[in-house]
Structures are given as structure tokens and as C-alpha cells.
């Protein structure tokens, strides 16, 4: 216990763990181990870890900085990892804090092979919709059934009991309800196996499933499994706090090298099909998996699910708690006798876990009231409800007479414990936080005493033996203050010291109501002098603890009469405190160690043995010849020797042992080490551990072995240095060094033995000459560093102090411009613009300051400039067509950033990267395309365009004129008739009729209208088109198809091909002539004079998009030559990887490749000019002359040349410097074969700075 007294012993230690290790010397260092872990995680990194410091002790504690993979400093140390019985490995242990802050991985990496043995994630975030602690059932929740009264519980795992959370075993993680402590699943088929399909909580571990309590349980199986999984884990975690841990035999797959067998998480079977109206828990020995079976209950309508009656769940788990601990975890047969209290322990756990603030001992508490369909204060499954009110429960010890075995007998024990529980709660209060055992509330004490009492209870116990186990637990905890309270409570129940059990199988006990004589007086004396203290000469120590009522105190030496005093002894002094009450007296002592002004130890024994204590064969030897073949000592002439001079052996005729203990050593810090020289020649025998040579560090009543060799280790037969052994674990304490020799047996003891010399403990005197200031070093950034505004800077530094050790974590960081910017050894921050003096400083415990400073210059940052060169804003493409994206990015500080451009689509997400790429994978729809880049100062620049991707193939659905209404157009709709024919497919007009649709349409450069036209009698104008505002003043909008009047207000490209009486199909690329966002379709059947018998029929009218589905010309492949005699001067160039043809000056070029121009041939391209010339255009020509009629489509220029076709949508002055899309139905103007593409950038007069860029030129057939 905390006073150093052994109360009981449990041993689950791996014996001779060092012997089980394959190696005790690392073959790889911590840097290599961390790199192996990074490889294991699949993390990329640009450099190796940076070594900050490396310890020299057996743990070789190493500090590393590895910002590529870990947000925090990595601290690695050597440890032994038990693998299996008789097998342990030397490993490096460390943690990696991932950059996304989602994981803290704890690694063990083999220090010889670099193999990753374990990886645990210390971070978890799971949630469960359940009836949570302390709710007993749906009937104990708000709102009441059938409304769902469950609550969502987030991240409930206790890090001490479940360090990996509830869904991870260390080697595997699960999204189903399975983990290290329990695997919950439904077993409706009663095959004791998980079903093929189990409810998944998803990658976010959200175990949130619906429930309808007015439906049969089969409708909410997943919710029942979740509730069962939650409660099994909660009980595991809470009970762990009270001692049901790995050595005690708890239920876990992975015991984390904490003892116990492992491999035995609970199989929790919900809605088990093997029975009804019951439940059970099968508990095999430690290392074998238990099984909990929860049944349905058919005593209410609809049936009720035992998985939701948390009291029953806790009861069943309670069987596992008691069976594993009574008689030890390897014996599952200790609770089979007639008087065994197992059922009572289980009921009691159910009552305690579901107790709530405001409860009273006199309340009626039944077990299983929900499952039985009873009210919450019903009797439950027992003969009487649990209560301290004798009117509700009148059990005493003798009540087991005639009771059913084991349940009836058990409920009597449960009532005894329930009275004990309330005695403690009434004295110490109730705390709803069951995890905080140290708070010492009454319910905490009850749980602790009962759980520890299980371990103290013998196999096949009677009630009196179970009582004694609990009393023994009370003796050892909380200063034994509750022993008499428990005795009195048990005695009131008939379990006093005079109670007679009748034996383990008797059900005929005799009540006893007497308490021990020691409890017949109150208060019993309780005394605690407090822990030992270390002080320097002249300092004062406060000793003792708080006073208790009814106690009289006396200190010796000194005679003080208060429970707490202050003392200032000149030398080390032991103080004894006596506490006296009316019932007697008790004593306790403690020691105040007074330092001698020195720290550490440096002993070569040349000055004698003052302060050293020796037993057995240990003695101070002078120039002994037993250290053969190297006589003498590490430092002549004295050394301590375990052996017999003359005989030069340790053969005394029997087993022998002895200890050599140093004087008290002060001033131990985290940097202190122990080293010594030794000469050791003993028996060499691999078959067992004999002739042990060990070194312990002793502190007060405790000790730790830090060095051990035995007969399995070769003798050195030469003076050898131990190498420094870290004493960091004892920092701040005073220690003694103890050398132990143990022959173990009387065999083969004729060897020289063991010599010790030059014992050195490094330390700093706590009472030394004075304080020195800390040393501070800034390791990052370097002095004079220059960065751009917005860039996050990594700051790193260290601080060491001769007296206080490593103070790096206490560093404070400031900027002369920004003030406080961070703290600790490592952090990141951005600074304002300007020249900063960065200071890292720290203050030690003696109030001395240390600092370091560097200069950092932060330059102003500007936003990067991003330009999208292709595609143009508003461009339209057919699905599956390859679209080329071209852009540039420049930054004033970082230069050209084009290579790191990031391209995004509002529909498809990330689509590419860099300055140029092509894709045909864009989905159908209107895409907002953005190109963006972030500079080194975290400023982002972007540019955006909108493009449309349309489906390939035929036109859209035919307009149904029955549903697509029309109205009069302008003032032209004057006389005649209109009608709808062919079920809505045909619009008929007679006379002087101009009609427009109510519906509007978007006309893009690739919009096409297709229809069939027929006229039985010619009028003046027959046509079709689109207009935006019901007037005739918006330029050419109507495509004239037929008529006696060649109207100048119409586009004549499609006039003249119609024959009266026949239906003729037209396909007009409207967008080539004009575009708009809200245009109405206009139908014209015009005749102003004469008989109005002219007619028009428009049938199967379809409006659709038809973007080119061919790749653009590559001008690296489609070469050009001079056209006619016009290619005079200037420059040409191919840009954008062949997609753009650039011309400046007076240049006329034609392609070397020829093309066939058919009636449906189209050309689409993007055009840009930065300076206007006389003629800018594109066309086709068959013979390299200008004599074949108009061939060139002029889109821009100052000259009105009769030899060209002025295109309907020219490039305007407002378009200068931007790309504009053009679509031209070439085949409507001329056709033929052998045509060469013609590109014109004409200007005859100086200066010749006019320019043209033709980009993404596509020649295709209108479909």
C-alpha cells in the first residue's frame, strides 16, 4: 500500500523478462525507427528526422524533430515488449502526432530488425444513441416509451481503460460494434456466432440506429446491439478504475503488456434465440472468451428486449467480474457452492451503476422491472425489492434459509451490500461521476471495497468470507477509516463477528449482531505522518496531514500537538506522530532528509567506506589478487569485493547472498546517471538464473533494479565500465545505490566473484552554491531569414538549465512588432510585414532569465495574377469532346507559378493542373471553370470562365404547339388565320401573320433550329428566327426561307432553295448569326396586299445545341504558306502547343492541307486582336487567288472590302484584348473540294502592329 506495507500479492509479471529478450543492445537508432514508422504509415517525407538530443542511459531517451510527419516533437525510448510467454523484444517506443491532428499513433518498433510491432491510435471519436449511464431502462428515461428517450453519447471511452477506444484492438479496427473489450451482435439464429451481416457505424463510428418501442424488437435489432455494446464497454471502463484490470483478469483482446492473458473480449449476443425471459453470462478462465446472452421477454405487448434493460446487462456482466476475481482469474469454479453470493454481487452492481442523484436508500429498487413490464418501483425478478426500508425488504443473514439456490440466496447478499452502500453514501455523499474513484464519495468507496474485496475472497466463499474480503479492502484504503462503519452495517444485517455461516454449502446460518471489540469504541485512531521530505540546511519542511475529529496528536522529537507542523532539522531526522483517541493510540513516522551541500556521488573507496553498509561476503579489499588475470583495481588500491580472500571464491558450503548499499545520494535530476566499474567472474550456466549480480536504486521503502546479470551472461574477467544508467525516473528524490549478489544455490560457487569500484552518480546539489541562468538557443528560423507576408514560419528552440534541466517547454516567444507569438519548444506562426526581432526567453525556478534572439524580415506580398487563355468564357462543347485548358500564373514575389495552377469545375471538382492540359471527361451542364494558385505567402489568385457541355447526337424534343403558346409579334400580326395540326407538331399560318412564342430560349454560338417547312401559296416573306423585344429594330433576326419580297431586314442565307408544295427540312445554326439569353421564337407568313391566301407550315420544330465534336487543328501539324501575293510583311507564330495561330503585320496565310466544304460544313474558332488592322478574317479558297468571289469571312477591321463576306457578329472595339467565339456555316456560302484554310491579318499602312490570334479552330459537319 502507500505506506510500503504488503497487504496481498498478485503476480502476473513475465519472469526474467530480460532473459526472454532476443537482444538487449539496439542495432538501429531512434532515427531509423521513426523512419520505419513513417514508411509503415505510407507518409512521404523530404528529409530524415533531426536529432535534438540523445540520452546515454539504458532507455537511450532520444528527442527528434520531424515536421514532415509529426506536429510535435518525437520522444523515443527503449523498452522491452513482451510478445508471448518466454519471448520479449527490445523496441523503440514513441508517438507520432499526425499533421491533420486526427491521430496520435503510439509505435513500438523492433530495435534490431526495424519491424513495427504495434501501432495504437490514441485518438478516437465515436458516438452511440443509447439509454446511457445511469439510465436503467427506457422506463427510467425521458421521454417515456414509446417515444425514443435515448441520448447520443459522444466519445465515451475512458483513455485509461480503453486507450485505443472501443473499436480498435491494436492490430485491427472495426466499424461494426466490435473492439478490444466486446464484440456485440445479434444471435437470433442461436448459433453462437456473429451473423454474416452486422450493423455498421460507418467510418465516423456513428452507432446511431432507429428504434420504435411500439414495434417488435426485431424491428430495432441494430439499436439493441448498440445499447449492448455501449454498456459492456462502460462497465469495462468503470470497473477498470476500481481494480478489475488486466492482472485481475478483465475482458480484453489486447492487454497492452499490463499482465493477464488477453484474447478474451466479451461475445455479447443480443436478442439471442436460445431462450426467453432470462439472460446468462459464461465466464471461462482468463484468456478464454466469455459469452453474454441477452433474451427477449414476452411478458408485455409488444415483447421487450433484455438488451434495453441495462440493469439486466450489468447484472450479467457482474457475474464475469466476480467469477474472474474470486479465487483468481485462472479459476472459474469458485462460485458454485450453495452459499455463494454471486447473484447478489451482480444485482448490487446493477443497482450501483444505475443509481442517480436524489435517490434514497428507502426507495424500492427492483431488478428487471422493464423486462417484466412492471412499474419502475416494482419488485422485479426477486422476492423483495432492494431497499433500506424494512417494510420493503426485511432480509437478514438467516433469510437464506429455504431460499432458491443460487438466485434466492444471492438476493440476500445483494441486500446486505445495498445497506453497506447506503451507509457509505449517507456518510460521504453521492458523486454521479463513477470514473473519479479518487473523489472518495460514498458510492466510490463502495465500488472500490467490493471490487477489491472480490480479490480478497477465498474460493467457494460463504457470506462471512465475502464480508471479510470487503473488510480487508477497507483496511487498506482511505486510511482504514471505514472499517468500523462496515462492521456495524454488516452486524445490523446479521453478519457480525459472531455470525455462523455453517460452511460454504450451508443454507442454515445463524445471525450474529456483534461488532469487533476494536469497533465498539469510536473513533479508532487513524494516523498519517505524511511522505518523506528532502530539504537543504536551514530550510523548513511541512509534515503531517489534516487532523481528524476526536484525535489528540503528539510529535517526537519536538512534542508538538497538532496534526501538521513545520520543522527545520539541522541533520536528517525521523519524526514519529502518535494519534490518540478514546479507543487507543496509533503511530506513523516519516523522515526529513537534510542535504549536505553536495549532489551526486563519486566514490573510489580510496578514502575508506564511510556511509557504506555491507552484508554477506561484501568487504573492502586492498590490492586483492582475486581479480585475476588482471590484478589490481580500476582505481588503486581499494575496491569492494563479494568473495573470500585467499580462496578467491564465494563457496561457503551453501547458498549465500549479500548487499552493498551506498550512503544517501542527493541532487538527482532528469539528467543524472549511474556508472560503476566491475570485475565479474561467476558460473557460466545457460540452464537457469544463478549467481545473480544486480544493482538497485532504493528510495524510501521502494526499490528498482537497473542492472542485472546472472549465470546466463558471460563473465567479463576484466575491469569493465557499466556505461551510464539513466536515473531520470528518480529526479527530485534522494537515493541509495544497492549492489546485490545472490548465488541462489550451493553449486559451482568456486569462482572469484564480483568486484565494484569507482561508483559515480551524477547530480546537482539541491543545496548547491547558487543558481545559473538558463541557456536558450533558437534553432529555427535562422537569423536574417526573409519570407513573404502570410507565410507560416516554424519556430523551434531549446532551453536548458543547470539546476532545472530541460525548460524548452516553458519558452516564451515574442516579436518586437507583433508581441507574444507562441510558447514552447516548437510552434508555427505568421508575422506581419516588417523586420522583426524574435526573442525566446525562459525563467528558471531561481528567477533567473535566459534568452536568444534572431532577426526575421517579412516582405509585403501581392496576390498572384491568373489568366485563363482557353477555353473562352461562354464556350460550348459536345460531351466527350477533348477540351484544351490553357492558363498562366505570375507572382511579383515568386515569379512564374503556372506549373502549380489548380483547375476546378463547379460540377466535376478538380479536373487538372499546370499551364496546359486537355480532357474529354467533363459532365453535361454549365461549368464554372476556375484556375487558381497560392503563393508562398498563402495569398491566392484565380480566374474563371463559364463553359457549357451539351449532349451529343440529335436534336431536342419537337415543340408541341398545343402547350407552347404564341402571341402577336410587333405590329405585324394583322390578318388571316393560325391553327395547330398533327397533334401539336405543326404550326399553320394563312394571310398576314407574324407570331412569337411566349416561351424564351437561350441562343448560344452552337444553337441550331431544325424544322420542316411547307407553303401551298407564296406570300411576300416566309421565315423563322428569334427576337428579344418584340420589335424589328435589333438587326437581322429572321431567316427568310421563301417569298416574293427579298426583305433587307432578313438573313438571306437560306432563301431560294424552297419549292412550293413540298415539305423541306432546314437545319439553321442560329448561334452563328446572333446569340442571346432570352429570345422568343418568331414565325413569319407575310403578305400585305392582294388575296391573303399565302400559307406557311412549320413542322417538327426542334431547338438544340450542336457543338463541334472534333479536336481543334494543331498548327504544328497543319502548316501554312503565303496566300496569293498578299502575305507581305510581319510575323507569324504558333502558340499554346499548336492550338493558336498568331499573326502581326500584313500577313495572309493558307493551309497546306485541303478541306472539302459541304453544305453542312461549319468552322468554329476563338479570335482575339490587340490592335485593329484593315481586314481580320478567316475563310477557305480553292486556287490561291482573290478571283473566285467572296471567300473570306471578315470579322474585324477598318476597311470595307467588297471581296469579303462581312460576318453578322463582328469582333467589336469592346472585345479588344479578349477572345471571342465565332461559328460560321461556311457551306451555306460556298461548297467544293480542295479548299485551303485562309487566315488574314491585313494592314497595308504602317505601323504594322495589328494582330490576330485564331485559337481552337474546328472544322466540322453540323449534326
- In angstroms, the Cα distances linking 1254 to 42, 313, 1026 are 48, 78, 29
| All cell numbers assigned to 700 | 524510501
Handedness of CA 137, 141, 145, 150 (dihedral sign): negative
Band the pLDDT of 256: cuts 50, 70, 90: confident
pLDDT at 5: 44
1025 vs 607, which has greater pLDDT? 1025
Render pLDDT for 822-842 as a digit per residue (tens, 0 to 9): 999 888 888 999 999 899 999
Render pLDDT for 333-371 as a digit per residue (tens, 0 to 9): 999 999 999 999 999 999 999 999 999 999 999 999 999
pLDDT at 624: 83
Section 512-531 average pLDDT: 87
Alpha carbons 401 and 408: distance in angstroms, whole number: 9
CATH, range 177-333: 3.10.170.10
**Is it the case that residue 632 has pLDDT exceeding 60?**
no
**Is it the case that residue 47 has pLDDT exceeding 90?**
no
Closest-CA residue to 416 (of 377, 352, 463, 462): 463
Section 569-596 average pLDDT: 87
pLDDT at 702: 73
Band the pLDDT of 3: cuts 50, 70, 90: very low
- Are 779 and 797 a contacting pair, CB within 8 Å? yes
Band the pLDDT of 608: cuts 50, 70, 90: confident
Render pLDDT for 206-238 as a digit per residue (tens, 0 to 9): 999 999 999 999 999 999 999 999 999 999 999
Active site residue 316: yes
Band the pLDDT of 604: cuts 50, 70, 90: confident
What is the domain partition of the chain in residue ranges? 17-121, 177-333, 334-520, 533-594, 601-754, 775-859, 865-950, 966-1105, 1120-1261
pLDDT at 596: 56
Render pLDDT for 954-1008 as a digit per residue (tens, 0 to 9): 556 789 999 999 999 988 999 999 999 999 999 999 999 999 999 999 888 889 9
Unique residue bearing C-alpha cell 416494482: 378
Q: Return the top range by mean pLDDT from 26-40, 70-84, 298-312, 868-882.
A: 298-312
Does this model's pTM top 0.85? My answer is no
pLDDT at 391: 96
Between CA 303 and CA 311, with CA 308 as vertex, the angle to 5 degrees is 115
Fold of 966-1105: Jelly Rolls (2.60.120)
Fold of 775-859: Immunoglobulin-like (2.60.40)
Band the pLDDT of 526: cuts 50, 70, 90: confident
Render pLDDT for 660-698 as a digit per residue (tens, 0 to 9): 999 888 878 888 899 999 999 999 888 778 999 999 999
- Are 1018 and 1103 a contacting pair, CB within 8 Å? no
- Are 419 and 485 a contacting pair, CB within 8 Å? no
Band the pLDDT of 123: cuts 50, 70, 90: low
Same fold flag, 17-121 and 334-520: no
pLDDT at 828: 86
Task: Report domain 533-594's class.
Answer: mainly beta
Render pLDDT for 142-164 as a digit per residue (tens, 0 to 9): 999 999 999 988 889 998 899 88
- In angstroms, the Cα distances linking 207 to 125, 129, 813, 978, 1050 are 11, 7, 44, 67, 70
Band the pLDDT of 451: cuts 50, 70, 90: very high
Alpha carbons 69 and 44: distance in angstroms, whole number: 8
Q: Give the lowest-confidence range in 388-397, 463-472, 694-703, 720-729.
A: 694-703
Render pLDDT for 51-61 as a digit per residue (tens, 0 to 9): 887 877 788 88
Peptide bond into 536 cis (omega under 30): no
Alpha carbons 244 and 931: distance in angstroms, whole number: 60
Task: Report domain 865-950's class.
Answer: mainly beta
Indicate which residue of 269, 316, 803, 1144 is catalytic. Answer: 316
pLDDT at 634: 64
CATH architecture entry for 334-520 = Orthogonal Bundle (1.10)
pLDDT at 9: 46
572 vs 272, which has greater pLDDT? 272
Is CATH 2.60.120.200 correct for 601-754?
Answer: yes
Section 96-110 average pLDDT: 82
User: In DSSP terms, which residues pair with 500 in a beta bridge?
Assistant: 510
The residue ranges of DSSP E strands in 922-985, in sequence order, are 925-934, 940-950, 966-968, 975-981
CATH, range 17-121: 3.10.450
pLDDT at 104: 79
Fold of 1120-1261: Jelly Rolls (2.60.120)
Please give the mean pLDDT across all residues of the chain: 89
Section 1077-1106 average pLDDT: 91
Q: Return the top range by mean pLDDT from 221-230, 632-641, 1242-1251.
A: 221-230
| 3-class SS of residue 1213 | helix
Amino acid at each position: 500500500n502507500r505506506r510500503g506495507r504488503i497487504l496481498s500479492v498478485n503476480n502476473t509479471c513475465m519472469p526474467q523478462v530480460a532473459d526472454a529478450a532476443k537482444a538487449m543492445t539496439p542495432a538501429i537508432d531512434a532515427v531509423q525507427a521513426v523512419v520505419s514508422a513513417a514508411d509503415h504509415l505510407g507518409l512521404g517525407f523530404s528529409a530524415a528526422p533531426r536529432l535534438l538530443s540523445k540520452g546515454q542511459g539504458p532507455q537511450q531517451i532520444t528527442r527528434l524533430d520531424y515536421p514532415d510527419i509529426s506536429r510535435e516533437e518525437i520522444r523515443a525510448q527503449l523498452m522491452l515488449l513482451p510478445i508471448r510467454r518466454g519471448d520479449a523484444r527490445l523496441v523503440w517506443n514513441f508517438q507520432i502526432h499526425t499533421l491533420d491532428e486526427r491521430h496520435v499513433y503510439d509505435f513500438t518498433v523492433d530495435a534490431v530488425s526495424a519491424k513495427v510491432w504495434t501501432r495504437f491510435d490514441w485518438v478516437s471519436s465515436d458516438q452511440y444513441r443509447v439509454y446511457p449511464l445511469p439510465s436503467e431502462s427506457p422506463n427510467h428515461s425521458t421521454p417515456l416509451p414509446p417515444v425514443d428517450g435515448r441520448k447520443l453519447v459522444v466519445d465515451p471511452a475512458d483513455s485509461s481503460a480503453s486507450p485505443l477506444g472501443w473499436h480498435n484492438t491494436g492490430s485491427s479496427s472495426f466499424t461494426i460494434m466490435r473492439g478490444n473489450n466486446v464484440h456485440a451482435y445479434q444471435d437470433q439464429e442461436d448459433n453462437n456466432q456473429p451473423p454474416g451481416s452486422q450493423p455498421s457505424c460507418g467510418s465516423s463510428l456513428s452507432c446511431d440506429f432507429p428504434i420504435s418501442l411500439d414495434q417488435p424488437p426485431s424491428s430495432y435489432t441494430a439499436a439493441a446491439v448498440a445499447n449492448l455494446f455501449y454498456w459492456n464497454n462502460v462497465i469495462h471502463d468503470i470497473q477498470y478504475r476500481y481494480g478489475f484490470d488486466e492482472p485481475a483478469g478483465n475482458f480484453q483482446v489486447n492487454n497492452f503488456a499490463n499482465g493477464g492473458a488477453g484474447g478474451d473480449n466479451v461475445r455479447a449476443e443480443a436478442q439471442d434465440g436460445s431462450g426467453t425471459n432470462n439472460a446468462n453470462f459464461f465466464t471461462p478462465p482468463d484468456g478464454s472468451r466469455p459469452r453474454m446472452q441477452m433474451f427477449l421477454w414476452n411478458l408485455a405487448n409488444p415483447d421487450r428486449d433484455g438488451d434495453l434493460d441495462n440493469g439486466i446487462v450489468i447484472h450479467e456482466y457482474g457475474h464475469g467480474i466476480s467469477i474472474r476475481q474470486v479465487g483468481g482469474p485462472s479459476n472459474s469454479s469458485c462460485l458454485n457452492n450453495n452459499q455463494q453470493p454471486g447473484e447478489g454481487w451482480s444485482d448490487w452492481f446493477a443497482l450501483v451503476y444505475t443509481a442517480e442523484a436524489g435517490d434514497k436508500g428507502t426507495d424500492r429498487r427492483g431488478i428487471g422491472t422493464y423486462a417484466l413490464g412492471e412499474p419502475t418501483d416494482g419488485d422485479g425478478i426477486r422476492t423483495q425489492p432492494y431497499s433500506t426500508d424494512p417494510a420493503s425488504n426485511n432480509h437478514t443473514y438467516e433469510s437464506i434459509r429455504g431460499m432458491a439456490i443460487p438466485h434466492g440466496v444471492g438476493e440476500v447478499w445483494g441486500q446486505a451490500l445495498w445497506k453497506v452502500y447506503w451507509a457509505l453514501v449517507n456518510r460521504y455523499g453521492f458523486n454521479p461521476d463513477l470514473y473519479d474513484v479518487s473523489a472518495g464519495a460514498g458510492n466510490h468507496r463502495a465500488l472500490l471495497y467490493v471490487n477489491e474485496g472480490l480479490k480478497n475472497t477465498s474460493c467457494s466463499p460463504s457470506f462471512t468470507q465475502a464480508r471479510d474480503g470487503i473488510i480487508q479492502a477497507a483496511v487498506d484504503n482511505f486510511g482504514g477509516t471505514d472499517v468500523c462503519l462496515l462492521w456495524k452495517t454488516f452486524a445490523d444485517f446479521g453478519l457480525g463477528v459472531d455470525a455462523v455461516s455453517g460452511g460454504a454449502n450451508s443454507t442454515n446460518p445463524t445471525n450474529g449482531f456483534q461488532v469487533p471489540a476494536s469497533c465498539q469504541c469510536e473513533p479508532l485512531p487513524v494516523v498519517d505522518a505524511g511522505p518523506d521530505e528532502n530539504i537543504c540546511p536551514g530550510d523548513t519542511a511541512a509534515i503531517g496531514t489534516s487532523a481528524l475529529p476526536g484525535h489528540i496528536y503528539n510529535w517526537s522529537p519536538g512534542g508538538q500537538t497538532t496534526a501538521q507542523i513545520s520543522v527545520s532539522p539541522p541533520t536528517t531526522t525521523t519524526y514519529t506522530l502518535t494519534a490518540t483517541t478514546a479507543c487507543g493510540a496509533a503511530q506513523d513516522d516519516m523522515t526529513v532528509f537534510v542535504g549536505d551541500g553536495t549532489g551526486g556521488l563519486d566514490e573510489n573507496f580510496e578514502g575508506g567506506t564511510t556511509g557504506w553498509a555491507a552484508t554477506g561476503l561484501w568487504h573492502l579489499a586492498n590490492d586483492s589478487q582475486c581479480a585475476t588475470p588482471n590484478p589490481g583495481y580500476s582505481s588503486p588500491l581499494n575496491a569492494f569485493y563479494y568473495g573470500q580472500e585467499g580462496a578467491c571464491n564465494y563457496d561457503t558450503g551453501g547458498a549465500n547472498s549479500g548487499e552493498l548499499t551506498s550512503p544517501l545520494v542527493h541532487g538527482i535530476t532528469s539528467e543524472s546517471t549511474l556508472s560503476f566499474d566491475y570485475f565479474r567472474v561467476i558460473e557460466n550456466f545457460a540452464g537457469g538464473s544463478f549467481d545473480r549480480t544486480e544493482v538497485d536504486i532504493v528510495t524510501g521503502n521502494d526499490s528498482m533494479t537497473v542492472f542485472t546479470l546472472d549465470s546466463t551472461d558471460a563473465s567479463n574477467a576484466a575491469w569493465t565500465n557499466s556505461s551510464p544508467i539513466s536515473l531520470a525516473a528518480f529526479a527530485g528524490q534522494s537515493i541509495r545505490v544497492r549492489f546485490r549478489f545472490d548465488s541462489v544455490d550451493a553449486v559451482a560457487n568456486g569462482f572469484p566473484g564480483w568486484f565494484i569500484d569507482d561508483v559515480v552518480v551524477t547530480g546537482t546539489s539541491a543545496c548547491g552554491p547558487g543558481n545559473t541562468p538558463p541557456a536558450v538557443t533558437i534553432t529555427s528560423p535562422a537569423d536574417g531569414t526573409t519570407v513573404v507576408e502570410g507565410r507560416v514560419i516554424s519556430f523551434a528552440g531549446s532551453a536548458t538549465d543547470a539546476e532545472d534541466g530541460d525548460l524548452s517547454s516553458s519558452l516564451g516567444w515574442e516579436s518586437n512588432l507583433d508581441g507574444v507569438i507562441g510558447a514552447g519548444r516548437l510552434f508555427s506562426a505568421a508575422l506581419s510585414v516588417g523586420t522583426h526581432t524574435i526573442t525566446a526567453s525562459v525563467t528558471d525556478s531561481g528567477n533567473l532569465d535566459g534568452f536568444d534572439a534572431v532577426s526575421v524580415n517579412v516582405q509585403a506580398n501581392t496576390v498572384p495574377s491568373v489568366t485563363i487563355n482557353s477555353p473562352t468564357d461562354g464556350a460550348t462543347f459536345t460531351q466527350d469532346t477533348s477540351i484544351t485548358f490553357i492558363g498562366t500564373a505570375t507572382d511579383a514575389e515568386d515569379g512564374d507559378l503556372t506549373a502549380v495552377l489548380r483547375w476546378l469545375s463547379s460540377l466535376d471538382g478538380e479536373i487538372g493542373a499546370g499551364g496546359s492540359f486537355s480532357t474529354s471527361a467533363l459532365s453535361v451542364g454549365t461549368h464554372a471553370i476556375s484556375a487558381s494558385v497560392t503563393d508562398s505567402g498563402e495569398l491566392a489568385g484565380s480566374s474563371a470562365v463559364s463553359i457549357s457541355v451539351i449532349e451529343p447526337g440529335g436534336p431536342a424534343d419537337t415543340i408541341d404547339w398545343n402547350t407552347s403558346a404564341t402571341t402577336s409579334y410587333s405590329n405585324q400580326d394583322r390578318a388571316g388565320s393560325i391553327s395547330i395540326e398533327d397533334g401539336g407538331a405543326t404550326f399553320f399560318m394563312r394571310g398576314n401573320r407574324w407570331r412569337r412564342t411566349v416561351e424564351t430560349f437561350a441562343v448560344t454560338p452552337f444553337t441550331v433550329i431544325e424544322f420542316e417547312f411547307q407553303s401551298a401559296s407564296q406570300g411576300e416573306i416566309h421565315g423563322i428566327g428569334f427576337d428579344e423585344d418584340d420589335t424589328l429594330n435589333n438587326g437581322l433576326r429572321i431567316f427568310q426561307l421563301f417569298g416574293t419580297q427579298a426583305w433587307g431586314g432578313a438573313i438571306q442565307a437560306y432563301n431560294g432553295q424552297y419549292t412550293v408544295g413540298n415539305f423541306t427540312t432546314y437545319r439553321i445554326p442560329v448561334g452563328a448569326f446572333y446569340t442571346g439569353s432570352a429570345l422568343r421564337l418568331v414565325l413569319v407568313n407575310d403578305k400585305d396586299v392582294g388575296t391573303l391566301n399565302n400559307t406557311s407550315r412549320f413542322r417538327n420544330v426542334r431547338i438544340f445545341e450542336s457543338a463541334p465534336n472534333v479536336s481543334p487543328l494543331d498548327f504544328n501539324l497543319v502548316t501554312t504558306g503565303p496566300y496569293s501575293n498578299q502575305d507581305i510583311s510581319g510575323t507569324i507564330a504558333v502558340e499554346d502547343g499548336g492550338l493558336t495561330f498568331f499573326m502581326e503585320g500584313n500577313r495572309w496565310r493558307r493551309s497546306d492541307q485541303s478541306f472539302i466544304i459541304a453544305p453542312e460544313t461549319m468552322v468554329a474558332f476563338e479570335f482575339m486582336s490587340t490592335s485593329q488592322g484593315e481586314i481580320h478574317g478567316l475563310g477557305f479558297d480553292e486556287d490561291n487567288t482573290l478571283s473566285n468571289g467572296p471567300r473570306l469571312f471578315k470579322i474585324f477591321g477598318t476597311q470595307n472590302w467588297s471581296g469579303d463576306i462581312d460576318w453578322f457578329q463582328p469582333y467589336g472595339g469592346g472585345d479588344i484584348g479578349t477572345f471571342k467565339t465565332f461559328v460560321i456555316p461556311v457551306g451555306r456560302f460556298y461548297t467544293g473540294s480542295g479548299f485551303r484554310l485562309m487566315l488574314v491579318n491585313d494592314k497595308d499602312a504602317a505601323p504594322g502592329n495589328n494582330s490576330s490570334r485564331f485559337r481552337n479552330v474546328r472544322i466540322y459537319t453540323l449534326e
